[in-house]
Amino acid sequence: MNNPWVAIPLADYERHMASPAVGQAEMLALEFGALLKSHAPKTVALVGCAGGNGFDKAAEVGVSRLVGIDINARYIADAKDRYADTIPGLELHCADIQGDMPDLQAVELVYAALVFEYVDVPVALRNISRLCRPNGLLAALLQLPKQGADAVTHSPFASLKELNSIMRLVPPGELLDSAEAAGFACLSQKTITLQSGKQFSLQLFRLTSGLPTGCRNHFCRNRT
């Protein structure tokens, strides 16, 4: 089965995400910018980077190597057109995070925003653990369920409806278990609420080793 993401035009996706009913694009970039300011990594990867939402934040704080990975080759080509001339150290790869990944030099921070909803989580996390340096960070942003609302917000862009066939909201507790099994320890978790009422979880993990570690963060553990 073809992944529906490869058939969604970037313009449809970006207009959907920027529409007032959805309003998520800005939040995703702002959270990325805040992580860059708090942790000051010099090397960063965005998994499921689409057309480069948030790349400008990395350029602003002087990240020296910025890796963007997406399954849609056209998104990667558009991101290249937009940013290759202005962001030194930009490295873009069309790859499936739950498939055979290219052999990439590991980075200090991996940001995976709204991508676990579309993949086999343990498989993707194993690949992400290879992309992350020992002691490096993984920031994972998940959409939380909203009562009475569809997971994919209704929008005029028909191409996005195809996502309903593969999208699955991932409970933060499930991500935590899989992340620990992949060698990550949870450092923090917070909930983000948009004006629309939609909520998101942002979990920050550190790659401690290849061995499972107990999470001492009760807030993180108690989210289901």
Ligand X SMILES: C[S@@+](CC[C@H](N)C(=O)[O-])C[C@H]1O[C@@H](n2cnc3c(N)ncnc32)[C@H](O)[C@@H]1O
Residues near ligand X (CB under 6 A): 5, 17, 25, 28, 48, 50, 53-54, 69-72, 75, 96-98, 113-115, 118-119
Tell me the residue nearest to ligand X as measured from the CB: 48
CB within 8 A of 63, min separation 6: which ones? 36, 41, 42, 43, 44, 89
Give the nearest distance from C-beta 139 to ligand X in angstroms.
11
Give the nearest distance from C-beta 63 to ligand X in angstroms.
16
Give the nearest distance from C-beta 154 to ligand X in angstroms.
16
Give the nearest distance from C-beta 221 to ligand X in angstroms.
26
Give the nearest distance from C-beta 14 to ligand X in angstroms.
8
Residue 159 or 217: the one with the smaller Cβ distance to ligand X is: 159
Residue 69 or 109: the one with the smaller Cβ distance to ligand X is: 69
Residue 118 or 200: the one with the smaller Cβ distance to ligand X is: 118
Residue 132 or 185: the one with the smaller Cβ distance to ligand X is: 132
Residue 115 or 215: the one with the smaller Cβ distance to ligand X is: 115
